[in-house]
Chains A and B, each alone.
Chain A
Amino acid sequence: MTINEKQNQIIEEFSVFTEWIDKYEYLIELGKNLAVLDERSKTEQNLIKGCQSRVWIDAEYADGKIIYKADSDAIITKGIISLLVSVMSERKPEEIINADLFFIDRIGLHENLSPTRANGLLAMIKQMRLYALAFASVQKNEI
């Protein structure tokens, strides 16, 4: 599935929710099911600045693809991260760098987040992209 196909799938999943509370309940569910991040990865370096809760994002690079792992101490935030990971993880760096993340607006996440919280979301995406840029340069060195 391409990044855009995955995003469309998420949009479809969210389209059944008419009430915000249902969206939140779904995010809580996703948050609970997100794979646990190893305590060793919860470092100061992996901590995202600009979030109201603590968010850690770690990334590995294997076989030309990036695998993101992330965690937060707040569950709704964790649900949002889970969506980001499902869209961005196990993809080539250039796919991530060039991705247009349209699903965030389409599922109403932006309008559900205050500016301070939306900044936190942007900080997460920025960090994921930074990883992709770093791994892209590694890739070039390999060639």
Chain B
Amino acid sequence: MIDVLNIRKDFPILNTTVYGNPLIYLDNAATAQKPECVIQTVDELYRTCNANIHRGVHFMSEQCTEKYEQSREKVRRFINAEKKSEIIFTSGTTGSINMVACSFGERFVSAGDEIIISEMEHHSNIVPWQLLCERKNAVLKIISFDDNGILRIDLLDSLINEHTKIIAVTHASNVLGTINPVREIIAKAHLYNIPVLVDGAQAVPHGNVDVRDLDCDFYTFSGHKIYAPTGIGILYGKEKLLEQMPPYQGGGDMISTVTFDKTTYAQLPLKFEAGTLNFIDAIALGAAIDYVNNTGRQNIFEYEQKLLDYATQKLASIEGLKIYGEANKKVALVSFLLKNIHHLDTGMILDKKGIAVRTGTLCAEPLLTHFTQTGLVRASFAFYNTFDEIDALCENLEKISLMFK
């Protein structure tokens, strides 16, 4: 059970007022707010335990290194990876996907090869692959989705062939909310020995993720969307693949020995962690994971699904409101448009009421092109949101409809 009023006390920012109205924060898919324990972790580290990791023999450096590695272990358990060496700290989902596109691409992709992504990807899971295709003269192929926002995995067989080198697909759409059948996609891809990268940025905050159960080859997510600080993220990769991939960036921490003739690289995961990593926020990611675990991922999932059902039903009852994304299995977000009202107009007026929603292309222009739209309004929920906040959103949308008549 989620005791939402008590939970809200853990998030100091939720007491903020915006233009004199209490903040109603419905832009959680863009970034989530931080609980006190995460804020305190960052604050305390800078006050009491800040020294560069994996380097000094001195007390504080060793303490910091230990906390950093403990955090890696928390992440491993959080997504049920087999080994700590398969957990790489990155700057975020975008950083993780670029790392795979560059490093995996360097090793395994050549001219004429093919990469499959889906029509509902965030730009972060499109552009790195396009860049790779340009570098290697490879071909990008697209799994489309239907008008309800459901991926056409029946088309997968016709897209896969002997040239396919990797499939990269989102676990949950940041616009449609659709939870994709990634397990099925992975099983099919593995029949042909094709590895699969899953973009988990929108899935990890909302429920259980088990990378071994999914059998995915790569899994990526961002700290800031699961209540951790910005600038830290995760790449999970199967050890046997990561071992075969060349380093992504060179620098400190990722080397074993350096001479001007030849450099040898560190073992996993440090091979992919060049330079001074964002170790403070990596440790705070561990604190965020503790917070989520203590709240209970099943509790979070169930409560957010109730919010989603309530919001969907209420929004759908507003005259002239169209919801984009009507899959049966969705994460807690709803994208919509009011008839004949521009998304920016809707967003500007909601903003004045203290209601934060996302408007625009939502970093998924090809997805919007599918619906011949230039922008949408998105309300995305976290487990600290309330049913009253959804009521306030809907009341204001009704008023906006009248204003523009």
Q: How far is the CB of A115 from chain B (nearest CB, A)?
A: 13
* CB <8 Å contact, B359 and A52: yes
Structural contact, B349 and A54, CB atoms closer than 8 A: no
Question: Number of contact residues on B: which range applies?
Answer: 10 to 19
Contact indicator B19/A52 (Cβ below 8 Å): no
- Chain A residues 23-53 with CB under 8 Å of chain B are 24-25, 28, 52-53
Residues B404 and A75 in contact, CB atoms below 8 Å apart: yes
The reply to whether the CB of B344 lies closer than 8 angstroms to some CB of chain A is yes
Tell me, in angstroms, the Cα distance from A21 to B351 when the chains sit together: 11
**Bound state CA distance, A89 and B405, in angstroms?**
28
Q: A52-B359, A73-B374 are in contact. Are A24 and B342 (CB under 8 A)?
A: no
Judge whether A76 is part of the interface by a CB distance below 8 angstroms: yes
CB-based contact A20/B344 at 8 Å = no
In residues 128-143 of chain A, which contact B (Cβ within 8 Å)?
none
Q: Which of B366-405 contact A (CB under 8 A)?
A: 374-375, 403-404
Is A122's beta carbon under 8 Å from chain B? no
CB of B345 within 8 A of CB of A76, answer yes
Nearest-neighbour CB distance to chain B for A95, whole angstroms, equals 31
Q: How far is the CA of A75 from the CA of B341 in the complex (A)?
A: 8
| CB-contacts of A107-130 with B (<8 A) | 112, 114, 117
Contact B352 A24 (CB under 8 A): yes
Contact yes or no, A21 B345, CB < 8 A: no
Residue A82 CB within 8 A of the other chain: no
A50 CB to closest chain B CB (Å) equals 13
Tell me, in angstroms, the Cα distance from A82 to B135 when the chains sit together.
47
Q: Which residues of B contact A112 (CB under 8 A)?
A: 352
Q: Within 8 Å of chain A (Cβ to Cβ): is B111?
A: no
Query: Chain A residues near B375 (CB, 8 Å)?
Result: 52-53
Please judge, given known A-B contacts A21-B352, A54-B374, whether A28 and B344 are in contact too, CB under 8 Å.
Answer: no
Q: Encode contact with B along A47-84: 1 for CB under 8 Å, 0 otherwise.
A: 00000111000000000000000000111110000000
B348 contacts A by Cβ under 8 Å: yes
How far does the alpha carbon of A52 sit from the alpha carbon of B349 in the complex, in Å? 15
Which of A25, A53, A117 contacts B342, CB < 8 Å? A53
Instruction: Other than A21-B352, A77-B344, give 4 A-B pairs with Cβ distance below 8 A.
Output: A20-B352, A24-B403, A28-B403, A28-B404
Chain B residues near A (Cβ < 8 Å): 19, 341-345, 348-349, 351-352, 359-360, 374-375, 403-404
- 13 pairs, A vs B, C-beta closer than 8 Å: A20-B19, A21-B349, A21-B352, A28-B345, A52-B344, A74-B345, A75-B341, A75-B345, A76-B344, A76-B348, A76-B349, A77-B342, A77-B344
Interface residues of A (CB under 8 A from B): 20-21, 24-25, 28, 52-54, 73-77, 112, 114, 117
